[in-house]
Amino acid sequence: MSVGLFRLISTVKSVFLFQYWKLFIIPLAVFLAGCDDKAKTQEVPTRSVRTLVVDNPVGGVLIKHTGEIRPHEESQLSFRIDGRLLSRPVDVGDKLKAGQTIATLEPRNNENQVRSAQAELAGAVSSERLAALNFRRLQSLIKTGAIAQAQVDEARVNLEVAAAKRVSAQSNLKIAQEQLGYTRLVAPSDGVVTSVNLNPGQTVSAGQGVVTLSLNQGVDAVFDVPEAILYSNLSDNKVKIALLSDPSVVTEGVIRDVNPQADKQTRTWRVRVSLPNPPEKMALGATVQGSIVIPGQAAFVLPASAMTRDGADPAVLIVQPDTLTLALRKVNVTRYSSEDVFIADGLKPGDKVEIAGVRRLGPGEKVSLEDKF
């Protein structure tokens, strides 16, 4: 093969390879360039947030306190005599009817006392009957002059003594029967057993509490409050009561009474709030939260979790309704509680405030609303 022909073949091969690779390299470059532009134009994902819609300011200071549902009236029931507990057929939560047996004592000794009193009465009745027969016999003899008047007088005295012994024996029998009746403890009225203190076999003293009975006369929410709340015209305010385990279960009550003496250990005063129509879920023993407004400056109430800072100043994150972005807004905080913060100004009704995870968020971030409260 000549040199000229070889060079011609090489030139044709180079041109063919260049055209071949151009068909693949150019589209690949265009594709990569497109991906780069798409990555540059991709939007930053929005953050899902939980918000609270600001309500009207509360006139005064909102105080929250935890308490318990207790019976409006309850009675601790006990035996009138000492003894050994034989049975207690009721337990906590049982609903009782008036006259229903709550507990019994061992009655053997009392039954023996009843039998002894019955025998004593039978003897007294016989003695009185004999004394009466003797007196009537002597009265008939005195008319014939067969006996002296002194014998008749003595028979009259014996009859009076026998009658007195019979009356005494009747009283003793009545007492013994009452003592036997005291071995049975019964419900004085309809109610619910809220606590039991003794079990069968235990020795019981007179007056020692056996069970506590809640009378069917309504329920109260009971709170132990500090002195600062006590002297804030509580009697002029209604109390909002919410079930702690389910805040959607709410009712309203009125303060019924305030214990005039503080607890020596806690230095708190017991306040009872009467609940006229409590929800079914507010059963005896349920834990509730009472909210009451006492005189003071009006303030917006937010959860403490909503607070952040703008430099050294307290602030909150507000969702801008037109752009759904966060804006940092300074607020004037008047006071804090264990759960809430009270803001005098910096907010307006209708503002949507971020209330969860504020430390991970910042102004300008685009968000989506997860929950509305």
| Radius of gyration for the alpha carbons in the chain, expressed in angstroms and rounded | 46
Indicate the residue among 242, 272, 294 that finishes a domain: 294
CA distance linking residue 102 with residue 184, whole number of Å: 8
Tell me, what amino acid is at 62?
A: L
- Considering the domain boundaries, does residue 28 fall inside one? no
CB atoms within 10 A of CB 361: 17
Same domain (yes/no): 228, 350 = no
Same domain (yes/no): 287, 246 = yes
Note the pLDDT of residue 231. Answer: 64
Residues 6+ apart with CB under 8 A from 172: 117, 120, 121
Of residues 37, 40, 56, 172, the one with CA closest to residue 115: 172
Note the pLDDT of residue 236. Answer: 58
- The enclosing domain of 310 has a CATH number of 2.40.420.20
- For 330, the domain range is 48-59+299-372
- Considering the domain boundaries, does residue 6 fall inside one? no
- Considering the domain boundaries, does residue 20 fall inside one? no
Note the pLDDT of residue 1. Answer: 47
- Considering the domain boundaries, does residue 87 fall inside one? yes
Q: What's the structural domain count of the chain? A: 4
- The enclosing domain of 200 has a CATH number of 2.40.50.100
CA distance linking residue 80 with residue 163, whole number of Å: 31
Structure tokens at 362: 């910042």
Backbone dihedral angles phi then psi of residue 43, each to the nearest 5 degrees:
-80, 150
CA distance linking residue 101 with residue 362, whole number of Å: 68
- The enclosing domain of 270 has a CATH number of 2.40.30.170
Same domain (yes/no): 52, 171 = no
Strand 287-294 versus strand 269-275 pairing type: unpaired
Note the pLDDT of residue 12. Answer: 44
Same domain (yes/no): 233, 265 = yes
Same domain (yes/no): 286, 303 = no
Of residues 284, 224, 275, 223, the one with CA closest to residue 250: 275
Note the pLDDT of residue 44. Answer: 56
Q: Is the pTM higher than 0.75?
A: no
Indicate the residue among 273, 294, 315 that finishes a domain: 294
3-state secondary structure the chain: CCHHHHHHHHHHHHHHHHHHHHHHHHHHHHHHHHHHHHHHHCCCCCEEEEEEECCCCECCEEEEEEEEEEECCEEEEECCCCEEEEECCCCCCCEECCCCEEEEECCHHHHHHHHHHHHHHHHHHHHHHHHHHHHHHHHHHHCCCCCCHHHHHHHHHHHHHHHHHHHHHHHHHHHHHHHHHCCEEECCCCEEEEEECCCCCCEECCCCEEEEEEECCCEEEEEEECHHHHCCCHHHCEEEEEECCEEEEEEEEEEEEECCCCCCCCCCEEEEEEECCCCCCCCCCCEEEEEEEECCCCEEEEEHHHCEEECCEEEEEEECCCCCEEEEEECEEEEECCCEEEEEECCCCCCEEECCCHHHCCCCCEEEEEEEC
- Considering the domain boundaries, does residue 279 fall inside one? yes
Tell me, what amino acid is at 195?
A: S
Same domain (yes/no): 272, 166 = no
Angle made by CA atoms 120, 126, 128, in degrees to the nearest 5: 100
Structure tokens at 370: 């997860």
CA distance linking residue 227 with residue 262, whole number of Å: 9
Same domain (yes/no): 282, 167 = no
Same domain (yes/no): 132, 195 = no
Same domain (yes/no): 366, 320 = yes
Structure tokens at 58: 């509360």
Same domain (yes/no): 276, 312 = no
pLDDT in tens, the chain (373 residues): 444 544 544 554 454 444 544 444 445 444 444 545 444 445 556 778 888 899 888 776 677 889 999 888 888 999 999 999 999 999 998 889 999 999 999 999 999 999 999 999 999 999 999 999 999 998 888 888 788 888 988 999 999 999 999 999 999 999 999 999 999 999 998 888 988 999 999 999 999 999 999 887 788 999 998 876 766 655 557 889 999 998 889 999 988 888 888 888 888 889 999 998 889 899 888 999 998 877 667 788 898 889 999 888 999 999 998 888 999 999 998 877 768 888 988 999 999 999 888 888 888 888 887 654 4
Same domain (yes/no): 243, 279 = yes
- Considering the domain boundaries, does residue 67 fall inside one? yes
